[in-house]
Structure 1
């Protein structure tokens, strides 16, 4: 799809400027702020950050609860001329230490309870640490910075995402990437100024961060929520008259099991899903439970934000489809030689256009693997994201997911690197080798199966090590000890054979 000529790309920190200044923009336990009040808070937070004297383009990391500071850091850091690095609150100290070191962060803003879990050496010597309370205080008064004049190609954020091998890698997102992502989603979701979005997803995810951006660019109000139980979501939908809810399949499975009063379920106008496909039975339950809500199945990858969505009118007739490209995205399905496939011929999904990120931070090798010149058929040209996902296109132009080429495990909306789990397992004395696999799970999409070449008596030690080193969403459902692993002709572990033997 070609860009609309009227689309103007602006710095991401301009996001709040065009809405009704007295309309509510941010709601939550700390109260409600209007657009005018929130804009002042962004200016104050940006001025406070600028006061530390970091060089332009310095990375500023946040590892904080989902409140006003977390909501405004993505705007305030770029306004101050810095690059925001949000860290998933679920991560533990080893992953946080990697992100801080890899990004070269000059500042870490963290909640005290999280900071207390860090050990010596986790925070680099040249990275300053400040409490979340310090940032919150800075937003309440003092001088402000005016909106920035940043170029659209300037780096605004680095979002860390797991790869199929190795530790999390930082995806570099520009002002234009973030701005056009907000414009596109607000457009196809038909968001309005009277919409209220319940933000249950982490702001460290592109999907979670866009909950804020797309709502604000439409002039609506966001309500960030760190929920403990699914019933907390139901309660807030009722009390705050929520109209929009974004989620991942495991959350929907939990929500449809609740007893929703008809008048509460009827408040929702739209449900959006990404991070895994919805099953047909789940689609049916959602449609029955939320009759007033449009359902938007979506597909995306952090390297290009969002690629496709299925219009609600097609959900019943094409429940298995990924839909078509979103605004500002050109989606091609190509053969290995780069030529476009015929209808119903499987090929690799390639995402072209201005939503494509700038590559992986300080990782030229992995950037070259995923970010390559667009296929000849592209209207945009330039660099494209070669997803590694096999997809087919039907004669109506609708796309269908066929399979994932890499070894990534996708569980509860999280992309999990098998290597991270394997490295933690082999750190246990007596574990010679380890292989982490994704196996089918009705609630999670995929669960983690960990195979170790070790004595069975070591399973409990491995469990303890993983619980100490890895976040909950990376914990294996099952650990099995094997005497030997199958090998391919090159002597490497035959992961394909293991996957076939233990796929269920």
Structure 2
């Protein structure tokens, strides 16, 4: 058995902490000893399917203890886990099934209908007993009690994750067993996680940030408390009732937490148990930081920046969150970061360039997508004008992230935009993120804002702002305020008010700019 896999954590926890609660969800709990037993039962059944090594197995279900068992069971075989968030529509699930040839799907009663819509011809396993022809976890737990052992290699494929964005079809990113264990080690280190911690499992488990909560909990023999965020009040009850000490969040969830009237929010004393909050996946605003510190008096707040092609690049030390809240921090342990311009030279302080990630936590590449892989995974030669590679092996791989950032004089990084998001207008390259940040700061009555472009033959692209707020704001007022902070070529030429903005179906943290763009183009045409 490789030491570089999650499976070793489950086995070791069973030896040292068999009676400790590993996972809790509402009124249900499972110990580390029972967790290994059930994981082994499901893994044994999966192996009896006799699928070829490396076969992909999808999980398309609600959050719960059974879902975590399914994840760990697949990782205890030589098959590959493909998480499918329950927010995906049938046609999106069908796309992923075909793209990576999923041979088996583990699901629940509610999602069986969606699977039937796409006429999936592989194996189906349900948590609950639903039909005589569909095996269930209930039956597996009852009848499969034979000893199970496995050999997992750290370099083997472990997970393929997909994220449906705003345009086009996604490509799966391939993650090895070693990637999973390395990410658990490094996060546990810099967050100072302890055995006594209770981690909130509020993130969905379709991407590495969510999955990492499971693996960090296993790594430290801590407890994972599962919860699905629907209402802020229920979420706070989860934190209080489950004695949560560590919370991983998306920025949009931080905003949603404090949407309630102040008298409905719990007192800081009730939340004093929380010691760590992390945020990744978007911009952290000073308002978010202020609210977190007001209601979580003992918290260390970590703002982080992750990649599609590697687990994580940066984190901002909590001591800096009030000094530079908009910074994404510095490199995490075992990572070197460089900012280079189009000529391959290292950028000067505050000069915007592309972020290059060197060192640990780099994933294996995009599934069956050599062009996309070649675009992101580069030879160390890309840094030949930045570092001395004389005498070093020339086949080292780094990640050209496609993220535009800059570094200040003290070495802290600041995110500007994704390469694909940049708008070309009037001969300038404009970051939508930069305009959106100014809107958040200078127009506090705006709830949500999306900046994107539409074609304009005279100036290449025309900048559009679509926003939501309690009531419509005269466009001239918005333009007047933005002109105080932005160059003239960055001012949106079209400003559109909507009561609410559509979100990406598979990621409720992202505004669906593509849908907004199509609506606008349809109205123009």
TM-score (norm 1): 0.79
Counterparts of 1:481 and 1:370, CA distance in 2: 31
Counterparts of 1:131 and 1:408, CA distance in 2: 44
> Compared with structure 1, are the counterparts of its residues 394 and 373 closer, same or farther at alpha carbon in structure 2 (3 Å cutoff)?
same
Counterparts of 1:95 and 1:212, CA distance in 2: 25
Alignment of 1:340-359 (within 5 A): 340-359=346-365
Q: Is contact 2:268-2:297 (8 Å) kept?
A: no
Q: Which residue in 1 is equivalent to 2:137?
A: 135
Shift of 1:347: 1.7
TM-score (norm 2): 0.76
Q: CA RMSD in A?
A: 3.1
**1:396 is the counterpart of 2:378:** no
Q: Is contact 1:61-1:105 (8 Å) kept?
A: yes
Alignment of 1:42-441 (within 5 A): 42-118=39-115, 120=117, 122-125=118-121, 127-133=122-128, 134-135=136-137, 137-139=139-141, 142-143=144-145, 146=148, 148-162=150-164, 165-258=167-260, 259-374=265-380, 375-376=383-384, 377=387, 382-407=396-421, 440=436
**1:27 is the counterpart of 2:29:** no
**1:15 is the counterpart of 2:9:** yes
Shift of 1:117: 2.9
**What secondary structure sits across from 1:61 in the alignment?**
strand
| Structure 1, unpaired ranges of 5+ | 1-7, 410-436, 454-465, 486-504
Q: Is contact 1:45-1:144 (8 Å) kept?
A: no
1:236-274 Cα offsets, whole Å, 9 max, x none, are 111111111111112111212441223222121111101
Number of residue pairs the alignment of both structures matches: 438
Shift of 1:54: 0.7
Shift of 1:445: 6.7
1:320-341 Cα offsets, whole Å, 9 max, x none, are 1111111233322222343433
Shift of 1:156: 0.4
> Compared with structure 1, are the counterparts of its residues 282 and 483 closer, same or farther at alpha carbon in structure 2 (3 Å cutoff)?
closer
Q: Is contact 1:333-1:348 (8 Å) kept?
A: yes
> Compared with structure 1, are the counterparts of its residues 129 and 356 closer, same or farther at alpha carbon in structure 2 (3 Å cutoff)?
same
Q: Is contact 1:62-1:109 (8 Å) kept?
A: yes
108-117 or 191-200: bigger deviation: 108-117
> Compared with structure 1, are the counterparts of its residues 337 and 81 closer, same or farther at alpha carbon in structure 2 (3 Å cutoff)?
same
1:68-100 Cα offsets, whole Å, 9 max, x none, are 222133321131210000001111111100011
Name the structure, 1 or 2, with higher relative contact order (CA <8 Å, separation 6+): 1
323-332 or 438-447: bigger deviation: 438-447
Q: Is contact 1:153-1:174 (8 Å) kept?
A: yes
Counterparts of 2:282 and 2:25, CA distance in 1: 28
Shift of 1:47: 0.7
Q: Which protein has the larger Cα radius of gyration, Structure 1 or Structure 2? A: 2
**What secondary structure sits across from 1:117 in the alignment?**
helix
Counterparts of 2:303 and 2:310, CA distance in 1: 17
Counterparts of 2:422 and 2:51, CA distance in 1: 36
| Structure 2, unpaired ranges of 5+ | 129-135, 424-431, 441-445, 457-500
> Compared with structure 1, are the counterparts of its residues 107 and 481 closer, same or farther at alpha carbon in structure 2 (3 Å cutoff)?
same
Shift of 1:470: 5.2
Counterparts of 1:129 and 1:55, CA distance in 2: 17
**What secondary structure sits across from 1:158 in the alignment?**
strand
Shift of 1:10: 1.7
Counterparts of 1:480 and 1:202, CA distance in 2: 32
Q: Which residue in 2 is equivalent to 1:434?
A: none
> Compared with structure 1, are the counterparts of its residues 144 and 302 closer, same or farther at alpha carbon in structure 2 (3 Å cutoff)?
farther
> Compared with structure 1, are the counterparts of its residues 14 and 342 closer, same or farther at alpha carbon in structure 2 (3 Å cutoff)?
same
Counterparts of 2:332 and 2:367, CA distance in 1: 26
> Compared with structure 1, are the counterparts of its residues 66 and 482 closer, same or farther at alpha carbon in structure 2 (3 Å cutoff)?
closer
Q: Is contact 1:22-1:34 (8 Å) kept?
A: yes
Counterparts of 1:233 and 1:483, CA distance in 2: 40
**What secondary structure sits across from 1:295 in the alignment?**
strand
Counterparts of 2:77 and 2:419, CA distance in 1: 40
1:182-233 Cα offsets, whole Å, 9 max, x none, are 1111111111011101111110121111111112201110011123212111
Counterparts of 1:448 and 1:204, CA distance in 2: 27
Q: Which residue in 2 is equivalent to 1:425?
A: none
Q: Which residue in 2 is equivalent to 1:463?
A: none
1:31-69 Cα offsets, whole Å, 9 max, x none, are 222222212222111111111111111000010111122
Counterparts of 1:446 and 1:55, CA distance in 2: 48
Q: Is contact 1:9-1:180 (8 Å) kept?
A: no
Q: Is contact 1:11-1:175 (8 Å) kept?
A: yes
Q: Is contact 2:87-2:505 (8 Å) kept?
A: no
Tell me which of 480, 497, 501 is aligned to 2:520.
Answer: 480
Q: Is contact 1:79-1:145 (8 Å) kept?
A: no
> Compared with structure 1, are the counterparts of its residues 219 and 60 closer, same or farther at alpha carbon in structure 2 (3 Å cutoff)?
same
Shift of 1:146: 4.4
